[in-house]
Structures are given as structure tokens and as C-alpha cells.
Amino acid sequence: MAQERTGVATFKGNPLTLIGPELKIGDQAPDFKLQKDLLEAATLQDFAGKVKLISVVPSLDTGVCDAQTRRFNQEADSLGDQVVVLTVSVDLPFAQARWCGAAGIDRVLTLSDYKDHSFGEAYGVFIKEFHLDHRAIFVIDQNDKIAYVEYLSEMAEHPDYDQAIAAVKKLV
């Protein structure tokens, strides 16, 4: 049975239960299987040798998630080719594609955790009550070690964009 963590996250002040471990700097990044579309999946190995900035959002169709993804898309231009910026949500892949097209998102790769929640459970962000992934940021180095992590205590708040970008720039 997966680990349940309580008392670490809320949504508008209401407590949430997160499924999975709390990852820390220096931990080996867990593998995952996320959907690029309904047929094709992506794993951690697909991004081997690159610095990975993983922005986790509950749903692209909400204000904070929209702003978070747009901000990292804008920042991606300055990070170079050795960095991949991923946005993970439980939105269906075709909804992610529609949102990216409408928002002009072209530097961030959106991946969906809708199918088996392997990312959410491996990274400790799967919300038991909502079956969504909780807002978090992970920076993973070229050797798949976690170099930066931010689990937001309140799901409706923004992450620390500047700290996440600084963590990426230390690695390239």
C-alpha cells in the first residue's frame, strides 16, 4: 500500500492527503510513465542526460496552473538546449494539446498522469481526495538526482519561480 501523508497540504485551507513519498534533494528521481498522447508514453529515461524542470499542476484550466505553465514556458527560452521543461497534470492529453495551442505554449512539454497516476504516486503529489496531482516543482540533474524540490503547502498558491530557475541554472 502506498504511503499516505496528511497535514502537509491544503486546498483553500482544507486538508488534503498526498499519496507517495516526500522526495528530498539528493534523492534518486523515481521513474514514471506519463502520456504524451493517448497512445505514446514518456518515461524519465526519455530525458536522459538533460536537466529536467518538472512543473506539476492540478489542471491547466485553472488560473494559477495557467500562469505557472506560461511563466516556465517564457523562462525556457533562457535555459538552453540541455534543459527540458515538463508540465505534468492529470488533464487528458488532448485537453493539454488544446490548451497549449490556445495559450501559445511551445517550449514546455505537457505530459499527462491521467492513466495510472504513476508520477503522482512516485513523486508524492497524488491527491487522494481529488485524484489530481498537487502543485510542486522538481529540478532533476543530468544524472537523475533531485537538485531542487518544492511541495506547496497550499495548492492555490504559486511556486517560487525564481528559486526553481536558479536551481536549473546552477546545473547548466
What average pLDDT does the chain have?
96
Which pLDDT tens digit goes with each residue over 60-70? 999 999 999 99
Domain boundaries, the chain: 4-170
- % the chain with pLDDT above 70: 99
Give the catalytic positions in this structure: 65
Predicted TM-score of the model (pTM): 0.97
pLDDT-derived band at 4, boundaries 50, 70, 90: very high
Given a contact cutoff of 8 angstroms between Cβ atoms, the answer to whether 5 and 22 are in contact is yes
| Cα–Cα distances in angstroms (integers) from residue 36 to residues 26, 44, 53, 106, 109, in the given order | 28, 13, 17, 14, 8
**What pLDDT shows up at residue 77?**
87
Backbone angles phi, psi at 65, to 5 degrees: -65, -40
Given a contact cutoff of 8 angstroms between Cβ atoms, the answer to whether 138 and 59 are in contact is no
Nearest to 22 by CA among 106, 122, 171, 102: 122
Name the superfamily (CATH) of residues 4-170. Glutaredoxin (3.40.30.10)
The answer to whether residue 1 scores a pLDDT higher than 70 is no
Which pLDDT tens digit goes with each residue over 147-168? 999 999 999 999 999 999 999 9
